[in-house]
Amino acid sequence: MLQKWVRAWFVSEKNIPEEYEDVRPDLLPAVRGRAYYDVTRLRLQLAGNTTAEWPYQPLGEHLSVGLVYDMHEAMLTIRQEGLDNWGVTFYEAMEAARENLAQLQHACDRHGTDGGPEGAGEGVERLELRALD
């Protein structure tokens, strides 16, 4: 447990790959409250950063689906700037993320585990994002 915590502590020192093809296999969809994105944007605006933008797609009235880069120790939310640098749209990256999630679920089903990446723990709920079509 301590080892995982220490690795997660230093994850901010890692850089996201510059090439989309290097990032693509580790993209995943992330379901969050819609307020997460709005509050983050407002905090950055108050701090003087008016260009930061995290793209998301509404999911129902109060939820949203965004993109994260799975670093295995932690997840980093993908900003629009990253998508622009990789030359892909939010929807292209989300499609890749959905494919990655389906592969994770398939691998978990095949191995008889209860979902999630390595070390995710027991009782992890499976999430299918078919409603995003």
Q: Is residue 1 part of a domain?
A: no
> What integer best gives the mean pLDDT of the chain?
79
Full DSSP string of 7-36: HHHTGGGSPPPSSHHHHGGGEEEEEEEHHH
The per-residue pLDDT for 1 is 63
Q: Domain containing 27: what range? A: 17-112
Domain count for the chain, please give it.
1
8 A C-beta contact, residue 87 and residue 93: no
Q: Is residue 38 part of a domain?
A: yes
Separation CA 117–CA 132 (nearest Å) = 22
**pLDDT over 90 (residue 118):** no
Model pLDDT for residues 16-62, shown as the tens digit of each residue: 889 999 999 999 999 999 999 889 889 988 999 878 888 999 999 99
SS3 state at 69: strand
* Mean per-residue pLDDT, 55-84: 92
Q: Is residue 3 part of a domain?
A: no
CA proximity to 79, closest of 87, 70, 90: 90
The per-residue pLDDT for 124 is 39
Q: Could you give the percent of the chain with pLDDT greater than 70? A: 68
Q: Is residue 89 part of a domain?
A: yes
Q: Is the pTM of this model over 0.85?
A: no
Separation CA 47–CA 126 (nearest Å) = 37
Residue 6 pLDDT level (bands cut at 50, 70, 90): low
Q: Is residue 80 part of a domain?
A: yes
Model pLDDT for residues 91-100, shown as the tens digit of each residue: 999 999 999 9
